[in-house]
Amino acid sequence: MNVSTSRKSVVGAALIAVLALTLSACGGSSNTASSDSTIDCSTGTIKASGSTAQKNAIAEWVNAYQSACPGATVNYQAVGSSAGVTDFINKQTAFAGSDSVLKPEDQIKADERCTDSEAIHIPMVGGAITLAYNVAGVDSLTLTPDVIAGIFNNSITKWNDPKIKAINEGVTLPNATIAQFHRSDGSGTTDNFTKYLTAAAPKVWKLSNAKEWKAEGGQGAKGNDGVAAAIKSTDNAIGYVELSFAQDAELKVAKVDNGGGAVEPNADTAAAAIGKAVGEIVDNENNIKLKINYTLKDANTYPIVLLTYEITCQKGLTGTDLALTKSFLTYSASDAAQAQLVEIGYVPITGDLLTSVRKSVSSIA
Amino acid sequence: MTTLINPEAPVGAPLGKSSRPRDALFAGISRGSGIVVLIVMGAIGVFLLWKALPALSANTASFLTTSPWFPDDAQPKFGIAALAFGTLLSSVIAMVIAVPVGIGVALYTAHYAPRRFAPTLGYIVDLLAAVPSIIFGLWGLQILMPNSIGLWRWLDDHFGFIPLFSNEQNIYTRSIALAAVVLAIMILPTVSAISREVFAQVPPGHIEAALALGATRWETMRTAVFPFARPGMVSAAMLGLGRALGETIAVALILSATFKINWQVTEPGGNTFAANIALKWNEAGTIGLGALIASGLVLYVITFAVNMAARLVVERRRDFSGAN
């Protein structure tokens, strides 16, 4: 008897520890349930799934939406973009969250799922990928695309490499080996980061882009939180993590100079880059597939950004799925909801793009 | 747990032939249960194969001898060479650490420890089995990794002439060796609990006879306890190995996850089947999912082979064990 109870209590304690860790990992979901009177509420339950990158943003919105709209439940499972798209195609969910636009063959399947209409992309959550570092005595660091690519393909291995020194005059860089961290799991962050390297540093980065890390050298860690923790606990470390994770771990982040001056990553500078993304598809203006321009040289524009979409049916949803999806996405595209993103380290959609997003949401029927 | 030692179940023919209806019913139910298990096992195998085939046929590289894992490229290229290497190497190192310690703990609790103290010690070791593996992973990452760097560096400095311990990168974190130590602690309770059960079953007569003949404590262990318990110790080790082969999240958190065959176990890198599936599943595309399932199929076969090998060893040794 004693044994079984003590076993249980150990398991219980362990579970509590796990819960505490999970909660702290989710950090930032500050219950800002400002009962927004402007929400056009709907009721019922819908399921959605997909991207882990937008997990905290959706969680924040679901909190606010559900507390303003009693009787409504939005159940978003962060299972990953690919799994989310599969769930949506199999009619398990009302919308999918995805880090990237559908491949042509998936677009065809998704259109079939939407019976006689089109599955549309609605860009809803932006993010910035920062180069977070932990080097004692270095409080300001500027990097160029070629240097970033050099660090991550292991051709630059020392912090006092002449190439880094040349762009950081006045900064004392130690004669230490760079401890480079990347993601060990498949991830949209890696995909977007390597897209940036491919576009902005084509002479140094030859590996193209992928969700898996392909370069040699460095160390892999699991998840944005894993990479952030690894940088924090390792001297002379650098790695790429999304802005919110760098903020939560209180890491120093490098400025990036794409050729138009060093730019600090924050919600404003990243929003500027996302606002300059251009449409890829023109046949249906409500299906907003965007191409991010990673080589922007504009002032106050941080170039390493990512964009996540909600994918749903323009027509073809029915009943609760239709009403609640439209109501929830309308709220997500509101000024209040987009402003919430900034507080938790995401990047809002702004300007003309936000106008098109709202038009796209209102076209759901 | 003792089924491995005495697998001859005294059922079968007499039950089937019984004329009494209740016996017939019972025989039918137990036969049915047995068949269900076989069907489930078979169905898992068929399911894995069916899901894996499209990916395997799309693969542009040899599945068995390729190391990199890039199934979602335009030209899918993936193989299990590095995964199989990392899985087996980390598990074998874990065994090398855990089996002697586990058997030592079992021997101490069963035959050396004071009577009042022994059960408590046994329970404490068993409690390790109740700790969720993510806790082991986080402990390995946050406590063991920073505190073990000195040990790995010492091994590199003094035994670096052995390829296993040399470290050219001079980075001593997120290595196969670290994962193996965590795995060893995780399989320790399995090894020690089963060995303890087996040691406790040694007939007191054997031990008393050895002592009466003037054997020392250690000679008693060698001549009376070990021969009797050897098959049980082998099964304990193999069950531990089975757990180490399939351990997922602790390894996924710790390893740096590279797809290279590298004998330098203290360098960052390495990967295992289960960890790779956990790391890649979420964002895998169509081919990627099939490829991961194919790797799962290989793990299934390896685990199956390990268990079969364990049974063979136990069968062969039984005649000499002095048991029965």
Q: A7–B130: do the CB atoms touch at under 8 Å?
A: yes
- Say if residue A298's pLDDT is above 80: yes
What the block records as the tokens of B159 is 């035994």
Residue A21 is predicted with a pLDDT of: 43
Nearest neighbour of B130 by CB, restricted to A10, A80, A187: A10
Measured CA to CA, the distance from residue B1 to residue B201 in angstroms comes to: 12
Beta-bridged to residue A180, according to DSSP, are A238
Among A18, A80, A10, which Cα is nearest to A49's?
A80
Cβ–Cβ contact B282 with A under 8 A: yes
**CA of A215: which chain B residue's CA is closest?**
B258
Residue B309 CA, distance from chain mean position = 13
Burial A283-308 (b: 16+ CB within 10 A, else e): eeebbbbbebbbebebeebbbbbbbb
Q: Which residues of B touch A18 (CB under 8 A)?
A: 132, 134-135
The alpha helices in B59-175, defined as continuous H runs, are 81-107, 118-127, 133-139, 145-159
What is the pLDDT at residue B122? 85
Give the pLDDT confidence score for residue A14 in this predicted structure. Answer: 47
- Distance CA(B100)–CA(B205), nearest Å, equals 26
pLDDT by residue, tens only, chain B of 324 residues: 444 444 454 554 454 455 688 899 999 999 999 999 999 989 988 988 998 999 999 999 999 999 989 998 888 999 999 999 999 999 999 999 999 999 999 999 888 888 888 888 888 888 888 899 999 999 999 999 999 999 999 999 999 888 888 888 888 989 999 999 999 999 999 999 999 989 988 899 999 999 999 999 899 999 999 988 888 898 899 889 988 999 999 999 999 988 989 899 999 988 999 999 999 988 888 889 999 999 999 998 998 888 888 788 777 765 544 444
Please tell me whether residue A323 adopts helix, strand or coil conformation.
helix
Contacts of residue B309, defined as CB under 8 A and 6 or more positions apart, other chains included, come to B238
For range A17-46, the mean pLDDT = 56
Q: Which helix (H) or strand (E) holds B273?
A: helix B273-280
Instruction: Give chain B's end-to-end CA distance (angstroms, integer).
Output: 17
Mean pLDDT for the stretch of residues A225-231: 93
pLDDT of residue A4: 42
Determine the pLDDT at residue A88: 94
**ipTM above 0.85 for this complex:** no
Contact B135 A18 (CB under 8 A): yes
The 3-state DSSP class for residue A177 equals strand
Q: Which residue of B has its CA nearest to A219?
A: B256
**pLDDT attached to residue A249:** 92
Chain Cα centroid distance, residue A15: 28
Contact A11 B281 (CB under 8 A): no
0.90 exceeded by pTM: no
Q: What is the mean pLDDT of residues A77-90?
A: 90
Six token digits for residue B218: 């250690």
Amino acid identity of residue A326, one-letter, is K
Superfamily of domain B69-320: MetI-like (1.10.3720.10)
The pLDDT value given to residue B78: 93
**Nearest Cα to B293, choosing from B46, B62, B85?**
B46
User: Which residue in the block uniquely carries the two structure tokens 């393909």?
Assistant: A153
**Considering only A122-136, A159-173, A311-325, B303-317, which range has the smallest mean pLDDT?**
B303-317
Cβ within 8 Å, pair A80-B134: no
Residues of chain B found within 8 Å of residue A184, distances taken between Cβ atoms? 252, 255-257, 279
| Interface subset of A 230-259, CB within 8 angstroms of B | 233-234
* Residues A110/A311, Cβ–Cβ less than 8 Å: yes
Cβ–Cβ contact B119 with A under 8 A: no
Strand bridging mode A95-98 / A44-50: parallel
Contact A18 B258 (CB under 8 A): no
Using an 8 Å CB-CB cutoff, list chain B residues near A306: none
